[in-house]
Every structure is written in C-alpha cells, then in structure tokens.
Amino acid sequence: MNEIEDRIRTGLHTSSRDRVPPSGWANSLDELLGRTKPARASRGSLRWTVPVIAAAATVLAVIPIWLVTQNRDTSPAGPVAVTFSVKDGRVSLDGLSFPVPAGWTAIVTAGTGPSTTVCVSPTQPSGAGDCDGVTVTAAAPTVSGSFQPIPDPSTHTADACRWVMLLGQNAVGGRAAIQYSIACSPNGQKKLFWYLTDGSLVVSTPPAAHAAEAAQIVDGLDLSEWQIQQGADAVEVTSAPMSSS
C-alpha cells in the first residue's frame, strides 16, 4: 500500500465516520426493510412524476384533436342518407329493390339509426307504431360499406312469446337466410320472419296476416344493386326446420 492510497483510505473513512443516515442506523434487517421514509416516497414520486405528466400531456393534446376530428368528420362509420323511392310498383331502398303488392303502399317509418324500416301496407300507414302490413327492415349502409347487424327477432322477442319455430333455411335474394315464426303460445297466432343470416335484412308480418304478400315481397327481392354487401353470419341455426301448423 503506497502512501497516497493510504491517505485516501484514511481520509474517506475519517470523513465518513460521523455521517449517519437521515433516519438513523437501523438495528436490524427487518427494521431497515420495514422503514417507510419520506426519502423513499419522494424518490418514488420522482420515478412516476415524469411518466404521469407525459401521459397527461398526451391526453390533453389528443382530446382536442379527437374532438376536432369528430366535428369535422361526417360520421364515416355511421349510416349514410337513406335513398328511398317507389316506382313502377317497386320500392328502391339504398339499391335494395322489392315489389309492392298491388294496391298497397310503402313508406319509411323509421329512417334514422343503423337500420331503415319500410312498412308495406294495404292501408295508408300512419308512419308510426305497428305496421298493418309487411315490415321490411334493412340495415343502413355506411360510408365504409359496412353495416350494423339487425338483432335477430327470435332472440329479442318478449319472454312470453318464445314459441319460435324454424320453417326453413332458404336463400333470399341469393343470400343466406332463415325463415321462422314466433308465437306467444303453442297454438297462438304466428308472426312470420325472413332473416338474412348476416343480419342485414328482416321481413316480417303481423300475427296471422299477410303471409302471401310477405312471400311475394321476399320472392321479388333484388339485392344485386344493394349498397350492403354480404356480411358474416350473425346467427347460428341450432335446430332443424319444422313443418308449420
């Protein structure tokens, strides 16, 4: 050991001799580990202060941008304006086309939201409430070409009307569909439903009425120009078709 190293050693030891931790010496390892010191808290807060401030600044910066974007954007994911017309005995709805039975009229009864409802009725529809005819509910296309599936009526019917009977799995307008009836008792009056399995279209009748006209509309559906393309199946058929009674 040379002299300078010895001087450094002595100097460091002597100058450190009276230095004591702010909390004093711990008497045991348990005491040391059990201590919660202000210094520890301040270091912990230092550790997280910068990330927290950065995160808050990011959120504060992003929120106005998001708000501006939301205001500027004319709902690219939302439905576009409905194009509806009745011409030459056929309804045209966003490119979807179906026949109107002779002497019947068709109006849009619900045109906002993710779907459009058309009431095809032998009487002048009131435009509100239940449709006294055949109801055609079509998903509204969005700018991006997607759509929000219409809930399957068989799984969204009232608890008292759970008598659902699968009548067939036949294509409608060239797209996969199921046909079923719903009644509120085993021998109750049945509503008929045609439901595209991607949830894009539902055709339904009132209880025990207008089955023939509904079939005429379904048979005459033309989906070739419809703005909504075939989507993924929204229902899975788990029972075999039964004969209608």
Partner 1 sequence: MHGVEDTIGGRTSEREPEQDPTPESLFRQQYVRLSRTAMLLVDSPQLAEEIVQDAFAELVARWDRVDHAKAIPYLYRSVVNGGRASLRRLRTARAHVPDTPGPGLNAESELLRRARDEQIRAAVMKLPRRQRQVIVLRFFSDLSLSDVAEALNIRPTAVAVATQHALRTLRSVGQEFL
Closest distance of CB 14 from partner 1, Å: 4
d(CA 56, CA 61): 9
Helix (H) and strand (E) counts in the chain: 4, 10
Closest distance of CB 56 from partner 1, Å: 19
The one segment of 24-32, 147-155, 164-172, 174-182 that binds partner 1 by CB under 8 A: 24-32
Q: Which residues contact 98 (CB under 8 A, 6 or more apart)?
A: 90, 91, 136, 217, 218, 220, 221, 222
Q: Is 28 exposed, middle or buried (0-12, 13-18, 19+ CB in 10 A)?
A: exposed
Based on the shown chain and the rule CB under 8 A, indicate whether residue 162 belongs to the binding site for partner 1.
Answer: no
Based on the shown chain and the rule CB under 8 A, indicate whether residue 54 belongs to the binding site for partner 1.
Answer: no
Based on the shown chain and the rule CB under 8 A, indicate whether residue 71 belongs to the binding site for partner 1.
Answer: no
Q: How open is the CA angle 67-69-74, to the nearest 5 degrees?
A: 115
Based on the shown chain and the rule CB under 8 A, indicate whether residue 22 belongs to the binding site for partner 1.
Answer: yes
- SS3 state at 155: helix
| N-to-C CA span, the chain | 109
The one segment of 4-12, 140-148, 178-186, 232-240 that binds partner 1 by CB under 8 A: 4-12
Closest distance of CB 57 from partner 1, Å: 19
The one segment of 10-18, 63-71, 79-87, 105-113 that binds partner 1 by CB under 8 A: 10-18
Based on the shown chain and the rule CB under 8 A, indicate whether residue 60 belongs to the binding site for partner 1.
Answer: no
How big is the site for partner 1, counted in residues (CB under 8 A)? 35
* Closest CB to partner 1 among residues 21, 89: 21
Written in H, E and C, the secondary structure of 181-239 is EEECCCCCCCEEEEEECCCCEEEECCCCCCHHHHHHHHHCCECCCCCCCCCCCCCCCCC
Q: Which residues contact 113 (CB under 8 A, 6 or more apart)?
A: 79, 140
* Closest CB to partner 1 among residues 24, 186: 24
Based on the shown chain and the rule CB under 8 A, indicate whether residue 243 belongs to the binding site for partner 1.
Answer: no
* Closest CB to partner 1 among residues 7, 162: 7
Based on the shown chain and the rule CB under 8 A, indicate whether residue 48 belongs to the binding site for partner 1.
Answer: no
The one segment of 23-31, 67-75, 82-90, 166-174 that binds partner 1 by CB under 8 A: 23-31
Q: Tokens for 51? A: 């990330």
Q: What are the residues binding partner 1 (CB under 8 A)?
A: 4-5, 7-16, 18-29, 32-33, 35, 37-40, 42-43, 46-47
